[in-house]
Chains A and B, each alone.
Chain A
């Protein structure tokens, strides 16, 4: 892909690896009960967040989902603050007030994960409206799942963004299951991207396991949005390796299906592309792995050593002055 040079390609890999190792570490920490609450893991879907966010500037906006760790990392939030939020520490990006389902980092334009399916889509529309109003050229990306595409907020958001020609990009991560329900049991069409036609906007289907393909589609959508061409719906066909939440064991899909998707795992497959197409060396891959491992270990240490919030801290955040 002509628009991707070696350093960009390596960055894509590093972002995906950071997300994967972060999620693996979280799974371990949860199993040792070191961490409170619940979580929804992003393993398997890394190419989507990495590919899309690689097309965005720091000042661009994203809204995310209950499965939002990957988006937050890919948008450039400090992994230490995300990890600390998982531990409900006062140094967390949300001061320990939000946790896994509400991670946000306004410093990098990450406007929030969301515990309500479809809840974040209209916020991206509003952020895109605000950008259009202020004339700043920022775009807003709404990440959401196949399940959210059956929520009213999906339809209202795409419609409003289309009719106001807003610089918004709607990225559907179709991981085939809304919790336990196979998407074809809840959605009467093969491609959710086809719904774009109803709003008169482009709808693109892309292989969500292929980070370069995701990046290519996102790049085009971002360019269209920046030049005033309005929104795009991109459907990324992807897969979540873990259960819906925490340690849930998926009884609704086969081991064989999981195995087949893992054959196309971006963390395994992309290094081959890096070596063949971008002359990345084994040594460079190894250095990336070492860097990521170190970042994650630092983040855990930072989180563990950070203080808890004070019991009355929440009171500061209910209302703004």
Chain B
């Protein structure tokens, strides 16, 4: 059966990899008996048993550190951290340990592990809403993946599990297609168009570091990741009515970054807008802008524009949250600004 929702696609990837390789094991808070707070691991405890699907204490340091120790000694752990915000508790293990072990030890060992974590703002206030990809992208030795569709989610997770390095795999809560039990945030996936490509049942992999053109266009390149890909698609439809054709590039992985797909598109359009849900300061959008300026300046016909969250912790009040976050309207505005002739 094809997966029309990211939650199913991720689960399918886990099942395929666990069936293929008995060294793939899962650990995390509430992933077993409770089936995972976003249902990604639903049914996996029943299917694989307590030996391979480990409920852990609320203990992010030991979840991450134990995954590292297990990865160094023959397993391929996939750890779930319940919200990417909680990775703050495990930053030493992620950034000082997992990212550096291979180099520090002169290549004696690799650390094949995945940390999956939900990100993004859904009305849960400042400590459960962030998009933290830039934290991890800044540390050499980590790979950072942010899928936007069921198709990408499955192929990228399978590849991440087989990758011999620590991979941070960030999943947007609104794209799962499942709400957390008791969670009020509504899934948005029913409103998405065919860009939200289902994952077929058959096996396939997507290379880390290969971006994807989510929409073809001639006038302006819009680079977006994760949930923002779909807001960009919506914006593209609006500006198309005024004759502006957006080319939407989804890098899919922050590290490694497919610079080529971005630069090739900019060469064609001469204009670049970058959209992230994270705050702009020192973020992924700034990195893409730097790549465009350093390696594609003479292809640019207009200033580069970033559409990012405002520099604020995410406030609880829905109207305030909306003010902080980028949205379709803000993308439309940015696109029009740099397409003014």
A binding-site residues for B, Cβ under 8 Å:
61, 63, 92-98, 102, 104-106, 111-112, 114-116, 119, 121-131, 133-134, 140, 152-153, 156-157, 159-160, 163-164, 314, 316-321
- Tell me, in angstroms, the Cα distance from A97 to B106 when the chains sit together: 5
**What residues of chain A lie closer than 8 Å to B25, measured between beta carbons?**
133
Q: Are A319 and B66 in contact (CB under 8 A)?
A: no
Give the chain B neighbours of A318 by CB distance below 8 A: 102-103, 140-141
Complex Cα distance, B105 from A123, in Å, reads 14
- Jot down 8 A-B pairs with beta carbons below 8 A, ordered by A: A94-B108, A97-B106, A98-B104, A123-B65, A125-B62, A126-B70, A133-B25, A153-B92
Distance (whole angstroms) from the CB of B115 to the closest CB of chain A: 13
Q: Give the size category of B's interface with A.
A: 35 or more
| Residues in B36-63 with C-beta less than 8 Å from chain A | 51, 54, 56-57, 59, 61-62
Residue of B nearest to A142 (CB): B69
* Distance between Cα atoms of A133 and B22 in the complex (Å): 10
Please state if A317 and B57 are interface contacts (CB–CB under 8 Å).
no
The answer to whether A97 and B73 touch (CB under 8 A), given A122-B62, A159-B59, is no
Evaluate contact between B62 and A320: CB separation under 8 angstroms: no
Are A321 and B164 in touch, CB under 8 angstroms? yes
Q: How far is the CA of A235 from the CA of B214 in the complex (A)?
A: 59
| Residue of B with least CB distance to A159 | B57
- Across-interface contacts of B51 in A (CB, < 8 A): 133
CB atoms of B57 and A156 under 8 A apart: yes
CA of A317 to CA of B111 in the docked complex: distance in angstroms? 12
B58 to chain A, nearest CB (A): 9
* Known contacts A122-B62, A130-B74; is-contact A97 B69 (Cβ 8 Å): no
B52, chain A: closest CB distance, angstroms: 8
* CB neighbors of A among B47-103 (8 A): 51, 54, 56-57, 59, 61-62, 64-75, 77, 92-93, 96-97, 101-103
A98 to B104, CA, bound (A): 4
Q: Say yes or no for B253: interface residue by CB 8 A criterion.
A: no
Q: Given the interface contacts A94-B105, A97-B104, A116-B92, does A157 sit within 8 Å of B62 by beta carbon?
A: yes
B192 — which chain A residues lie within 8 A by C-beta?
none
Say yes or no: is B290 at the interface (Cβ < 8 Å to chain A): no
Give the contacting residue for B65; candidates A92, A94, A133, A157; CB below 8 A.
A157
Of A92, A104, A111, A152, which is within 8 A of B69 by CB?
A111
When distances are taken between beta carbons in the complex, the residues of chain B under 8 Å from A131 are: 73
Whether A116 touches B106, Cβ cut-off 8 Å, given contacts A122-B68, A126-B70, A127-B73, is no
Cβ of B93 and Cβ of A122 under 8 Å apart? yes
Say if the beta carbon of B240 comes within 8 Å of chain A: no
B8 in the interface (beta carbon within 8 A): no
Task: Return chain B residues, CB-CB under 8 Å to A160.
Answer: 56-57, 59, 62, 66
Contacts of A123 in B (CB 8 A): 65-66, 68-69, 72, 97
Instruction: List 8 tightest A-B contacts by C-beta distance, closest first.
Output: A126-B69, A122-B65, A95-B106, A320-B110, A94-B106, A156-B62, A123-B69, A320-B164
- Given the contacts A116-B92, A321-B164, A125 and B69 also touching, CB distance less than 8 Å: yes
What residue in chain B is nearest A158 (Cβ atoms)?
A: B62
Distance between B162 CB and nearest chain A CB, rounded to angstroms: 11
**Is B278 on the interface with A (CB-CB < 8 A)?**
no
Across the interface, which residues of B come within 8 angstroms of A164, CB to CB?
Answer: 54
Most buried by B among A153, A157, A164: A153
